[in-house]
Homo-oligomer: A and B are copies of this chain.
Amino acid sequence: MSVAQRRPVKRLPREVRERQILDAAVRVFSERGYHNASMDEISDVAGVSKPMIYAYLGSKEDLFAACIHREAANLLTAITNGVQAELPPDMQLWHGLLAFFDFVGTQRESWQVLHRQAISQGGPFSEELLAMRDRAISLVDTLLVRVATKEGLDDQSATEALAAALVGAAESLADWWLDHPDVPSKLIASRLMNLAWMGFGDLVRGNTWHPSD
């Protein structure tokens, strides 16, 4: 019925094509958003025909999920590599923050897909994200607990909440940073570090705030 295929085509192993496709998808999803991204554009950018995308990575939803999965793994790896176990806790946190903001700064598209797109789609997408977020929180929590224990404090819920707030603040700052790209990443990181570490120090030392009314 259809007489296909006119021009010669480079045959690449599946693995390579998959990476090409994922790269293109991340780019297009981050630029256009999930819904405005069309499979046609993705296939164009990838330099691959649409059927290949469906053959290798499934439906649009599947493709998006694969993007989220890969980028989330990359981000977590970057952070984990930044945090070096032999350093003192504050330096661990510091390098973790640096690694995070570095990822956001150098791979803006990846971060946009993760934070802006995945979260607003809800359902299975967000879950993958939330799982990664939880891992990040517990990473931070481990650090805080170590310090708190040394100081004799043992309020588990406090450190966990602080860790959650810290991660949240980092995300928000990163998001804000995307719209103010002229601020250097070290400055951003140091501001957050100060807020977190000093506030945490107060907490550890029992300095807390309560409403006066």
Return the chain B residue nearest A199 by Cβ: B199
Contact of A165 among B35, B130, B169, B201 (CB under 8 A): B169
Return the chain B residue nearest A162 by Cβ: B195
Per assembly, the copies of the chain total 4
Return the chain B residue nearest A93 by Cβ: B209
> Which residues in chain A, 187-213, are within 8 Å of chain B measured between CB atoms?
187-188, 190-203, 207-213
Of A42-50, A72-80, A102-110, A117-125, the one contacting chain B is A117-125
Q: In the complex, are the beta carbons of B179 and A130 less than 8 A apart?
A: yes
Q: In the complex, are the beta carbons of B91 and A213 less than 8 A apart?
A: yes
Of A62-70, A146-154, A170-178, the one contacting chain B is A170-178
> Which residues in chain A, 11-57, are within 8 Å of chain B measured between CB atoms?
33-36
Q: Is A135 an interface residue (CB 8 A)?
A: no
> Which residues in chain A, 100-143, are within 8 Å of chain B measured between CB atoms?
116-117, 119-122, 126, 130, 133
Q: In the complex, are the beta carbons of B161 and A168 less than 8 A apart?
A: no
- Report Cα–Cα, A34/B35, bound state, in Å: 9
Chain B residues in 8 Å Cβ range of A91:
211-213
- Report Cα–Cα, A158/B158, bound state, in Å: 26
> With A194-B209, A198-B209, A209-B90 given, is the CB distance from A168 to B176 under 8 Å?
yes
Q: In the complex, are the beta carbons of A173 and B179 less than 8 A apart?
A: no
- Report Cα–Cα, A130/B33, bound state, in Å: 18
Tell which of A171, A172, A173, A208 has the most Cβ of chain B within 10 Å: A172
Return the chain B residue nearest A189 by Cβ: B211
Q: In the complex, are the beta carbons of B168 and A173 less than 8 A apart?
A: yes
Chain B residues in 8 Å Cβ range of A161:
187-188, 191
Q: Name 12 A/B residue pairs within 8 A (Cβ), A-sorted.
A: A91-B212, A91-B213, A116-B120, A119-B120, A130-B179, A161-B188, A165-B169, A194-B199, A194-B209, A198-B208, A199-B199, A201-B207
A residues with a Cβ closer than 8 A to B are 33-36, 88, 90-91, 94, 116-117, 119-122, 126, 130, 133, 158, 161-162, 164-165, 167-169, 171-173, 175-176, 179, 187-188, 190-203, 207-213
